[in-house]
Every structure is written in structure tokens, then in C-alpha cells.
Amino acid sequence: MSDRQEHDPVTYDKLELQSDCERCFGLCCVALPFAASADFAIDKDGGTPCPQLQTDFRCSIHNELRQQGMRGCTVYDCFGAGQAVSQITYGGRDWREYPHTAHEMFNVLPIMRQLHELLWYLHEALAMPAARSVHSELKEALAWTKSLTLLSPESLLQLDVDSHRAGVNELLLRTSEFVRDAARRNQSGGHTRQKIGGRGADLIGAKLKGADLRFANLRGAYLIAADLRNADLRSADLIGADFRDTDVRGANLTDCLFLTQAQLNAARGDASTVLPPGLSYPSHWIHNDER
């Protein structure tokens, strides 16, 4: 850990929002169900350990998930909820040694994941200078959400997480509008752009090669298998957008809002895609290791 991280509580907290499978009891590999499909080679019920999960909670095919037909595992991100449930909520007591906790622990995971995802977005929002007029509200929401992650398992299971999420989402939406308005005002040229997108837009398979999508509101948009090659997505809001098989080769994602590593992992890109800081190139973009 660098000196800056040690003395910067915000940075340190954000590190806790990165999944750390070494400190998790393989919770996503047990708690979550999946169905045989293009994303998973097998069916599995929720609460049943995946056959690839070893006794040390490691995955036996971790380095070849895509080649083994388990692409869905590479696009799931718990935002650090797995290690939080394992090490904080349950104090390091795992479901194998304490089987009476298993069912409850598996139900707590998706609630914790939602809280951690909100924490990640709130950290992102706080890093946006153009949103400074809502920074105090963002900090309050961050502290409140963080406090919820420390609740007991019983309290977490009773939490109205949908209601909390709705409140935070309203704040994130206002943040997005401030930031995109500021970016739009600062744009050079000022030419008229085609209006594309909108919240929850159905853009499945859309042909948007080279499109100017700067400042677009693509919140929750369905971009599955869309062609976004060489598209300009600078300062576009991509929160919750479905990027499965979206072709972003050559696209410019600089300064886009709320894009996660899991979204990138689900997309198709290459070294010519321009990423925002803090996100990395998925290995399958570079090595083309799909089956």
C-alpha cells in the first residue's frame, strides 16, 4: 500500500470495494444460481456450491473460465461484498465450519453487494469536481450507506435496500446532470449532435459505429451486442448499462460516468479502446482467449 493510500481514508475505503477472493468464503460461487447458457456451461441452484469450488474456497478453473464456458463468472463483480460478509458480518467464520450460518450468509450476500455497489458509485461521484455542489449530500449518503454495511445479519436481512437504493440513485442522477452539463458547456465546436440514448434505452444490436455519444444519458441502456466501434462516449453516463457483447473497439470512454470493470469485462474491446482512469483492459480483449 502506498503512503497516499495509508493517509487517505477515501482511497483506502475504495480499495475495500474491490473484490478480494482470498478473503471471501467463495460466497458468489455458492449463493448465486445460474443456468446453462452462453455464459455458463452448467445449471446450478442458489445455495449449492459450484463443482469447481475447492475446499479452500478457490476456483479450480480460475485461469480458464472463458475457455471452460464460464464467461458469466468473469463479468460478475461483488464490489468487495464477499469479503465484507465473510470477514466483518460473520467475523471470519465460514459456512463450512459453521453450516448453520450458511443459508443466512448466502441471503446476506446480495444485500451487501447492493450496498457496496452504491458505495462504489458514491466514491466515483465524490471524485467529480463538477459535482461539488452536491458533495456534502454525497458524503452523507456515503457515511449512511457505510453504516448499513456494518449491521448484523438479522438487520441486513430486514433492510429495505430498494428504498435506500432509490434515494441514492436520485442523488447520483443529479450528480450526473451537473457533471454532463458542465462538460457540455466546456465542449469545443458546439455542433449539433444526433440525440441518441435516454434512460433505459433499447439499443440492442444498434449500429452506432463512430456515433457522437458525448454527454449522453445511457443510464440502464440495453447496449447488448451494439456496435459502438470508434464511438465517442466521453462524459456519457453509463450507470447500469448492459454491455454484454457490446463492441467498443476504438471507442473513447474517457471521462464517462459510472462505468464499472464488470461492464467492461462483458464487452468486446481491444487495445484501441480508450478507458477512463482506474479501469483496466480485460485480458480477453488482449489475448482473445474466448473458446
Whether the CB-CB separation of 291 and 65 falls below 8 Å is answered with: no
* Of residues 243, 118, 221, the one with CA closest to residue 172: 118
- Which CB, 65 or 223, lies closer to ligand SF4? 65
* Cα–chain center distance at 202: 20
CA dihedral sign of residues 202, 77, 27, 84: negative
- What residues between 61 and 120 interact with ligand SF4 by CB under 6 A? 61, 65, 70, 73
Instruction: Verify binding: residue 233, ligand SF4, rule CB under 6 A.
Output: no
Contact with ligand SF4 (CB under 6 A): which of 20, 39, 59, 123?
59
Instruction: Verify binding: residue 218, ligand SF4, rule CB under 6 A.
Output: no
- Which CB, 79 or 258, lies closer to ligand SF4? 79
Secondary structure class of 169 (helix, strand, coil): helix
Contact with ligand SF4 (CB under 6 A): which of 19, 52, 175, 265?
52
| Rounded-to-5 percentages of helix, strand, coil across the chain | 45, 5, 50
Q: Which distant-in-sequence residues (6+ apart) come within 8 Å of 257 by Cβ? A: 124, 128, 176, 179, 180, 235, 236, 237, 238, 239
- What residues between 15 and 34 interact with ligand SF4 by CB under 6 A? 29
Whether the CB-CB separation of 94 and 62 falls below 8 Å is answered with: no
CA distance 111 to 90: 14
- Which CB, 53 or 130, lies closer to ligand SF4? 53
Tell me the window of 6-14, 46-54, 155-163, 233-241 that interacts with ligand SF4 (CB under 6 A). 46-54
How many residues lie near ligand SF4 (CB under 6 A)? 9
Instruction: Tell the smallest beta-carbon distance from residue 52 to ligand SF4 (Å).
Output: 4
- Which CB, 62 or 103, lies closer to ligand SF4? 62
Instruction: Verify binding: residue 50, ligand SF4, rule CB under 6 A.
Output: yes
List residues near ligand SF4 by CB under 6 A.
Answer: 29, 50, 52-53, 59, 61, 65, 70, 73
